[in-house]
């Protein structure tokens, strides 16, 4: 059974490694909930929680909770909130770059499947 204790900003790679084996880190169970990934992607692309909520047709509070969930899951602050709005942190930029390409692959595979799957 995997350790569900979220990482903290102070966690070292060694501490994370002690809690999770490589196979656990690479397993699907190591993935945050898909909706949190979609919400973070929309926040990053559109520049804020409100715009992401409109795009996703979700309540602002729901998208905000998704962001908090993924930040808790990763133990990393992904968005810096300022008086002028939200800005991705350096880690947020890096993480978005990585997940955006993965989400694009999923979207492309799904469109291809739909095209091939006509009954």
The CATH number linked to 86 is: 1.10.10.10
Assigned domain for 41 exists:
yes
Is the pLDDT confidence value at 18 over 60? no
Which run of H or E residues covers position 99? Answer: helix 90-116
Dihedral of CA atoms 106, 26, 74, 35 in degrees, nearest 10, equals: 30
Model pLDDT for residues 19-75, shown as the tens digit of each residue = 566 666 666 667 899 999 999 999 999 999 999 999 999 999 999 999 999 999 999
Assigned domain for 81 exists:
yes
Assigned domain for 82 exists:
yes
Assigned domain for 5 exists:
no
User: Token pair for residue 21?
Assistant: 């084996």
Give residues with Cβ within 8 angstroms of 93, minimum separation 6: 44
In which domain, by residue range, is 108 found? Answer: 31-116
Model pLDDT for residues 99-118, shown as the tens digit of each residue = 999 999 999 999 999 999 86
Assigned domain for 100 exists:
yes
Assigned domain for 37 exists:
yes
Question: With bands split at pLDDT 50, 70 and 90, how would you rate the model's confidence at 2?
Answer: very low
Assigned domain for 79 exists:
yes
Model confidence pTM above 0.85: no
Which run of H or E residues covers position 82? Answer: strand 79-82
Output the 3-class SS for 1-44: CCCCCCCCCCCCHHHHHHHCCHHHHHCHHHCCCHHHHHHHHHHH
Assigned domain for 63 exists:
yes
- Number of domain units in the chain: 1
């Amino acid at each position: 059974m995997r350790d569900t204790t979220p990482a903290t900003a102070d966690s070292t790679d060694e501490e994370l490694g002690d809690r999770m084996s490589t196979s656990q880190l690479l397993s699907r169970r190591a993935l945050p909930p898909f909706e949190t990934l979609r919400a973070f992607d929309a926040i990053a692309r559109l520049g804020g929680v409100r715009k992401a909520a409109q795009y996703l047709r979700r309540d602002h509070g729901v998208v905000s909770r998704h962001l908090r969930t993924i930040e808790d899951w990763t133990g990393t602050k992904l968005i810096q909130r300022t008086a002028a709005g939200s800005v991705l942190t350096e880690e947020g930029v890096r993480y978005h770059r990585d997940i955006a390409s993965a989400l694009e692959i999923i979207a492309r595979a799904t469109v291809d499947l739909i095209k091939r799957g006509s009954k």
